[in-house]
Amino acid sequence: MIHLLRIDLFFKGGDIFNIANSKFLTVLFYLIIYFLYKVLGTHTAVDFIEFNYDENTIIFDYWLFYFYRKRLAIKFSDFSYKTGYDISIVGGSFFIKIIQNNKFKIKVNKRNGWKKKQIKEIYYRLKLIKSTSKD
């Protein structure tokens, strides 16, 4: 036995399309798109960076996937960094990736509220720390 579904039932404005055209689902759709846009940039949105020269550590306060607040302390001798420019549809931005023991940990970029001047200052501090460390 073959069961066929009449397509014209869906185009009469039945319950399915009333739900799909609701404002709630439209807002939910845009929120999901915005979340995906942010996560594609980085999944670690950094709020605060502290350079503690007394204990030779860098402390990062960040949000993992924008839901879980975390704190990470990395010793000067245990980290490395990479810099570059993100390529995106909206436009690229300068970023710094913090790597601890050959594992990606943190990414700081303009997409999460940091200004280019602040990112450059962080970059120069990291560069100074790595040039004066005894690796």
pLDDT value of position 54: 92
Domain ranges of the chain: 11-41, 42-132
In percent, the amount of the chain with pLDDT more than 70 equals 72
* 103-109 vs 68-75, strand pairing mode: unpaired
Q: Which one of 11-25, 75-89, 116-130 scores highest in mean pLDDT?
A: 116-130
Neighbours of 11 (CB within 10 A): 9
pLDDT at 91 over 90: no
**Residue 89 pLDDT grade (very low, low, confident, very high; cuts 50, 70, 90):** low
| Mean pLDDT, range 31-43, rounded to an integer | 71
Query: For the sheet containing 57-64, what is the strand order?
Result: 44-52, 57-64, 68-75
8 Å CB contact between 108 and 96? yes
Average pLDDT over the chain reads: 77
